[in-house]
Structure 1
Amino acid sequence: MIEPRGNTAKIEKLEANLELFSVLLQTKNLLDKQLESKIDKIKEVVKEINDCEEYEKKLKTHQESLEKKINMLVELQDKSIQGDFEAELFIEAVISGCFEPEDYWDIDDFDSEQDDDDQQDHGDDELENEEVISCL
């Protein structure tokens, strides 16, 4: 059977459109992959930024803790200069790593809570001094 000329032209046009559609679809798929890759890179950068912010918070907390300890050591040093032998011993214990500066005030707080009698407090001080000295 002989095809009319109009149908052949339409078929050729449809084939050309199909080929163009195929190229466009391949281009779209390629662009989708590139976009996905860029999104993954952005996610990695965002994660790194979040990690840096978290690390910065930890550093700030650590810095504040160190500043507090330095202030406590300065206060202990002032007490030592004023002749407080316990403070001097405690500074040595902190330097040797046996205690943290805030432990000095924990011990003092413990003493102030036990005001039963002066001899008891003096006995506690001797025990604490022995603990500090034994760590040196």
Structure 2
Amino acid sequence: MQPLPRGHVRLEDAFGGARRVEVEIAATAGTRARGMMWRKELAEGKGMLFLFPHEEVQGFWMRNTLIPLDMIFITSDLRVAGIVSRAVPRSLESRSVGVPSQYVLEVPGGWTEKLGIRKGSTVRFEGVAGLDIEP
């Protein structure tokens, strides 16, 4: 399997600061489906950014995902639409925030709460422009 493209996501926190996450970027149907499956750890400051071709209600499951994750759903205008915190590993339950988003950032479980990332926070991508997003 080829390594995924890499970039950074910068999120505004509740205290007026910004948190930068180094991300692997999943922009194809295959890489989005595989996601974080089979990984045994995800270090602080790391994550995976899922790019979708259109803004719509996204749903994620944790099948074959071995670690708890926070899922940050991001709108096409780069605001946090909502967060699923500490998604339980190996669950087939679909996780969603019920509102349209075009991007989803997965980070270690509990990270968003600890660092004050909230619904409405602004987001900036670095090294993502120009990547082809496949349906």
Structure number with greater CO (CA < 8 Å, separation at least 6) is 2
Larger % of strand: which?
2
TM-score, scaled to structure 1 = 0.23
Query: Greater Rg, structure 1 or structure 2?
Result: 1
Larger % of helix: which?
1
TM-score, scaled to structure 2 = 0.23
